[in-house]
């Protein structure tokens, strides 16, 4: 995304209401004009308190998962796996949403 131009909505009650709804539902809203989509409003989250990415981290659970998955690819053809990954990456770049 480029640097968007800020729009102060302090004195626009309806937009303030929509923004409050975005914060509550944490769901984007599609803006339409004459039934045509013109913009997408995305909730940014609580900028006052950054999300704690470590809040649910459990080192014992991670160690257990690593131990469980150890050797899982032992019988996989490495060359074929790498070719499949490269092929998927090319497909992903050309996908149209």
Q: Looking up tokens 């709804």, which residue turns up? A: 21
- Backbone angle region of 53, left / alpha / beta, with phi > 0 → left and psi within -120 to 50 → alpha: alpha
Q: Which domain holds residue 17?
A: 13-46+58-94
The total number of structural domains in the chain stands at 1
- What pLDDT tens digit does each residue of the chain (97 aa) get? 578 888 899 999 999 999 888 888 888 999 999 989 999 998 886 666 677 888 899 999 999 999 999 999 999 999 999 999 999 888 766 555 4
- The answer to whether residue 38 is domain-embedded is yes
How many Cβ atoms are within 10 Å of 15's Cβ, its own excluded?
Answer: 14
Q: What span, in angstroms and rounded, lies between the C-alpha atoms of 92 and 87? A: 9
22 — phi, psi (to 5°)?
Answer: -60, -45
- The answer to whether residue 71 is domain-embedded is yes
- The answer to whether residue 17 is domain-embedded is yes
């Amino acid at each position: 995304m480029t640097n968007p131009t800020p729009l102060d909505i302090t004195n626009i009650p309806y937009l303030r209401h929509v923004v409050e709804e975005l914060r509550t539902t944490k769901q984007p809203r599609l803006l339409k004009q004459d039934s045509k989509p013109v913009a997408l409003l995305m909730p940014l989250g609580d900028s006052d308190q950054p999300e704690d990415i470590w809040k649910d981290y459990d080192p014992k659970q991670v160690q257990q998962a690593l131990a469980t998955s150890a050797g899982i690819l032992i019988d996989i053809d490495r060359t074929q796996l790498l070719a499949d990954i490269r092929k998927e990456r090319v497909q992903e770049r050309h996908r149209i949403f």
